[in-house]
Amino acid sequence: MNDKTVLITGASSGIGKETAKQLAARGYRVYAAARRIERMADLERLGCVPLRMDVTKEEDLVAAIERIREQRGGVDVLINNAGFGTQGSIEETSLEDARYQFDVNLFGLARLTQLVLPHMRENRFGKIVNVSSVGGKIYVPLGGWYHATKHALEGWSDCLRTEVARFGIDVVIVEPGAIGTEFNDVFVGPMLERSGDGPYKDLAHGIVGYMRDLESKPDGSSPPSVIADVIVEALEARRPKTRYVAGRMAKSILFARRWLSDRMFDRMIGPMIG
């Protein structure tokens, strides 16, 4: 695997950056893509190739794939990591914001996947890792549009896996739990801006209080390296699992969701939302 070419999105921070570091250290040729290319100078020093990419812009995606094709022949491993969470009530979130959430978390990665598949099919080899979330299996109020994208990504990935397996291409879903990344830094502001003063203000402030309490605890979240380790494991497995679950509270909350009824799960998350 170490001679393979990797493209990873969302590589300027968090899970993406840590994964890029680990793969570069293991000898992979890593193309690290993100909107904030200036924040990837450290990755360049490690041997990664920084690419400026907004996954919602077709021209960025095409330019990146063309460059990799010219330099390396094509992408062998795609790690779809770029994503963010739109927080706020379904009623108070504009459809424009909701559509952008889908553009980043689903349609952008879907288009990038379309662009890398011809090379993978031709070589009869490829690995595609889609970073989803436990949020693709559970739900929390005021996260409706975010959860919708991750639930969609789970089903989309399952369909993709069954379509491309015949070409020697693996599709893996990674479901992180609570991870200490910038995702949490941009969580509070948008939620309170949309829903902090309206009919859902009690929910909004309850969730914010819960998140701040969680972050204040030493074991409130896992470091991004936990997910990077899982991605490396999936890439180097001869027969990777279809799903990997890792990070703080991930396995316990998915276990609860699997065995509790909807009403029981509603009650379980009650303390979280005050």
Q: Where are the domains of the chain?
A: 5-273
Sheet holding 126-131, edge to edge: 49-52, 29-34, 5-9, 77-80, 126-131, 169-176, 243-246
Whether residue 133 lies in the annotated active site: no
Q: What is the pLDDT of residue 249?
A: 87
Residue range 36-58: mean pLDDT, rounded: 96
Q: Which of 89, 132, 195, 221 is catalytic?
A: 132
Let me know how long the chain is: 274
Q: Please tell me the CATH superfamily of domain 5-273, with its number.
A: NAD(P)-binding Rossmann-like Domain (3.40.50.720)
Q: Check residues 269 and 24 and name the one with the higher pLDDT.
A: 24
**Residues in CB range of 60: below 8 A, 6 or more apart:** 52, 53, 54
Residue 186 has pLDDT above 90, yes or no: no
Whether residue 150 lies in the annotated active site: yes
Compute the distance between CA of residue 169 and CA of residue 180 in angstroms, rounded to an integer. Answer: 31
Q: Which of 25-29, 137-141, 209-213, 238-242 has the lowest mean pLDDT?
A: 209-213
Enter the pTM of the model: 0.94
Q: Which of 127, 150, 222, 244 is catalytic?
A: 150
**Mean pLDDT of all residues in the chain?**
92
Q: Express as a percent the part of the chain with pLDDT over 70.
A: 95
Compute the distance between CA of residue 5 and CA of residue 73 in angstroms, rounded to an integer. Answer: 9
pLDDT digits (tens, 9 = 90+) for 157-176: 999 999 999 999 999 999 99
Residue 182 has pLDDT above 60, yes or no: no
Q: What is the pLDDT of residue 274?
A: 60
Whether residue 28 lies in the annotated active site: no
Residue with tokens 């590589």: 11
Q: Which of 28, 31, 139, 146 is catalytic?
A: 146
Q: Which two tokens stand for residue 49?
A: 């190739």
Contact assessment for residue 102 and residue 149, using Cβ atoms and an 8 Å cutoff: yes
Whether residue 146 lies in the annotated active site: yes
Contact assessment for residue 120 and residue 75, using Cβ atoms and an 8 Å cutoff: yes
Q: What is the pLDDT of residue 265?
A: 93
Q: What is the pLDDT of residue 1?
A: 63
